Structure 1
Amino acid sequence: MTEIQLSCAFATAADSPEHIQVAEELGYRRAWLYDVPQQGPDVWLALALAAQRTTRIGLGPGVLVPSLRHPMVNATQTLSLQAMAPGRVAVAFGTGFSGRAAMGAKPLPWAFMGRYITAYQGLLRGETVEWEEARMRLLPPEPDAAGLPPVPPILVAALGPKGAACARAVGADGIFAVGAPPAAAAEHRWVALLVGGTVLDPDEDPTGPRVQEAAGPTWAITYHFPYTLGGPVALNDVPGGRAWVDVVERTPAPDRHHAVHQGHLVRLTDADRAAWDAGGAALLTGTTLTGSPAHVGAAVAGLAERGVTEIVFQPSGPDVRRELTAFRDAVRATVPA
């Protein structure tokens, strides 16, 4: 059976460093933090605090949204984290679903992504690069490019052919996907897949309150993502979709994106709970990794056979240690690591 690395991810929050420390204690390979500034602290600051509390676990932003920072800023922040956690840093880039949509903006064009990542890589290599019609490079006190650490592994959130082409163009080390492995997975030796859900206790009701809080934030993407891309019509045939839309569209149109993304991947909103109660709960086991330990372990094994090399689990709910422990145990019982 194909081996797979077990990693985790968190929506960046004040307690993220503590949760990453728990993940290290439990044997997780890497911890990713989301770059969504409107929902929590700066991702680089949280990663630096996590570096101070850990010694082994890999650390990285997953995914950086290029429009939020000048490439020089992300380059210097990368160097700072590498100094604090040498050999443990990886960086992922994406076009910005929640990182931009929650601010009323569209995802970034892939052409821009390619130019940005190329400039970022060049800066970290000590090269002079052009950005915004200006030439720039790192200016350390000792101007010796040979003294710079190696450029960390770079992943690109490539879910379609344009993203896959960008990943190839910038020489990405792998891809960072969400939900299911994309077609481009076969092209890469490193495929990180973000999943959420919860491992059920024996005879536990999969629609009960604990499960709702632990797996609900991931399940809610079923409504957040289609609505953002296609509006209310995209949810016409989704169980609970009409109830979700009815609550969201109480917010005036200019600010409706705030109602869609409030609590995204962190907690359920009134709209999410309305969808759950209106039949959406039936979608939980089909849209998240939720089930018995044997079910979750078998699902991860199946993803490994489809080319996933790193499963990235996002725990939710009030008991993060419980979620991380149960998921680890379910995977280890089935999949070699």
Structure 2
Amino acid sequence: MQVSCAFPTALSSPDDIALAEQLGYDRAWVYDTPQQSPDVWMTLALAAERTERIGIGPGVLVPSLRHPMVNAAATATLAALAPGRTAVSFGTGFTGRRAMGYRAITWAFMESYIRVFRDLLRGEVVEWEGARMQMLHPDGHAPARPVEVPVLIGALGPKGERVARELGDGLFATLQVPDFLSEYTWVPFLAWGTVLDDDEPQDTEHARVAGGPGWALAYHGAYEFSGADAVRTLPGGDEWLSVVEESPQDERHLAVHSGHCVELGEADRAAWDAGGSAMLRDVTVSGTRAEVRRRIDDLGAQGVTEIVFQPCGPDTRSELERFLDAARG
């Protein structure tokens, strides 16, 4: 089991990735969330300059945010800056689209996009939006084609699994463990949470700021995928909804995703204070060192090959150290 980390792209991310390398993490992924983050490719370029060993890449790219030529050129650039360390992953867009009021892209679009993206990196002439194009970079402007970079695909259902099987080098998973996980040899699993002291309750301030942003995804995901009735079944769900529903319908997604993966938004704080903290261990990889280690072992038994931990809260170093200690046993 590799132990990697992820960051909701921030101005501090290049230094955070350098710290992760120093501590011994295998890879660092950063998010493609322009509505709340700096540019993912600029961030990765800076991280490449500050590191030597750690693997780096976007996890996950959302195809609709950029032309495939733009992502292909950026991938080639990062491969030149961090040779042998670059990987990319694609997803249909949870934070990267829903936080802007869009639905996820279709798997038909995803399949077409990734085929063109991979063909561009091979140096082939492709057709996109009715036009023929090719990477024309002269020497010194990009690595010579083909540019060999692994591509992982985030998929949960049968449509995504087919695309991942045909076009991917691995499966990027989060929130759920799909049945087909064990069919892949490279499976990063993105997880949130925090390592608690042996006698630490799960509603402490440390638990809230370090584990809370990942815990809040239970409410965000339930609302986006299953609607308000699903949220009401969660502890503190009524309180969470009462805050979200104060916003106009066409701006409600802004209230849902405020602070997403970084800090608790107003609705999240209302749910936490109403007893929602009781399910911290259920919806995140949180608990004592021994409990976290068991959760990681369980994921490994299901086919996960790389646990990807996103630290939260004001003390990134401490969260990274505590999780790595638990994961490595």
TM-score w.r.t. the length of structure 1 is: 0.95
Name the counterpart of 1:57.
Answer: 54
Confirm whether residue 46 of structure 1 aligns to residue 13 of structure 2.
Answer: no
- State the match for 1:324 in structure 2: 320
Aligned to 2:227: 231
Match of 1:80 among 77, 82, 93: 77
In structure 2, what is the Cα distance between the partners aligned to 1:146 and 1:322? Answer: 38
| Matches of 1:183 and 1:211, distance apart in 2 | 31
Alignment correspondent of 2:291: 295
Distance in 2, Cα, partners of 1:50 & 1:110: 31
Residue in 2 aligned with 1:217? 213
Instruction: Please give the alpha-carbon distance, in whole angstroms, between the structure 1 residues aligned to 2:258 and 2:141.
Output: 45
The answer for unaligned runs of 5 or more in structure 1 is none
Taking structure 1 as reference, are residues 147 and 284 closer, same or farther at Cα in structure 2, changes over 3 Å only? same
- The aligned amino acid for 1:211 is A
User: Is 1:102 aligned to residue 99 of structure 2?
Assistant: yes
Matches within 5 A, 1:1-337: 4-142=1-139, 147-148=144-145, 150-170=147-167, 172-333=168-329
Deviation at 1:142, TM superposition (A): 4.5
- Cα distance, 1:143 vs. partner? 11
Amino acid paired to 2:232? N
Q: Check the 8 A contact 1:114/1:169 in 2, yes or no.
A: no
- The farther-off stretch of 83-92 and 225-234 is 225-234
Whichever residue aligns with residue 160 of structure 1, its letter is: G
- Tell me the C-alpha RMSD between the 2 structures: 1.5
Q: Which amino acid aligns with 2:313?
A: G
Counterparts of 2:248 and 2:234 in 1: how far apart (Å)? 23
Distance 1:47 1:144, change over 3 A: closer
Contact 1:12 1:46 in 2 (8 A): yes
Q: Distance in 1 between matches of 2:80 and 2:144?
A: 12
**Is 1:48–1:81's contact at 8 Å kept on the other side of the alignment?**
yes
Cα deviation, 1:142-179, whole Å, max 9, x if unaligned, reads 49999335321110001111110111222x11111113
- Deviation digits for residues 208-265 of structure 1, max 9, x if unmatched? 0011000000000110011112321121211111100000111111111111111100
Are the structure 2 counterparts of residues 142 and 252 from structure 1 closer, same or farther at C-alpha, using a change threshold of 3 Å?
same
Looking at structure 1, the residues matched to 287 and 322 of structure 2 have their Cα atoms a distance apart, in angstroms, of 11
Instruction: Please give the per-residue CA displacement for 1:161-216, whole angstroms capped at 9, x wherever unaligned.
Output: 1110111222x111111133211212111111000100012311211001100000
Amino acid paired to 2:177? P
Q: Find the residue that maps to 1:147 and give its secondary structure.
A: coil
Residues 20-57 of structure 1, C-alpha deviation per residue, up to 9 Å, x if partnerless? 01100011000000000010100000000111110000
Moved over 3 A (4+): 142-146
User: What one-letter code is carried by the residue in structure 1 that aligns with 2:131?
Assistant: A
One-letter amino acid of the structure 1 residue matched with residue 129 of structure 2? E
Relative to the length of structure 2, the TM-score reads 0.97
Cα distance in structure 2, aligned partners of 1:162 and 1:226? 21
Tell me how far apart the structure 1 counterparts of residues 242 and 236 of structure 2 sit (CA, whole Å).
10
Aligned to 1:302, the other structure's residue is in SS state helix
Relative to structure 1, the CA distance from residue 140 to residue 319 in structure 2 (aligned partners, 3 Å threshold; closer, same or farther) is same
Q: Tell me the amino acid that sits aligned with residue 64 of structure 1.
A: L
Which amino acid counterpart does residue 156 of structure 1 have in structure 2?
I
Structure 2: gaps spanning 5 or more residues: none
SS at match of 2:263: coil
Q: Is the 8 A contact 1:119 1:130 kept in 2?
A: yes
Contact 2:77–2:143 (CA under 8 A) maintained in structure 1: no
CA separation of 1:88 and 1:285: change in aligned 2, threshold 3 A: same
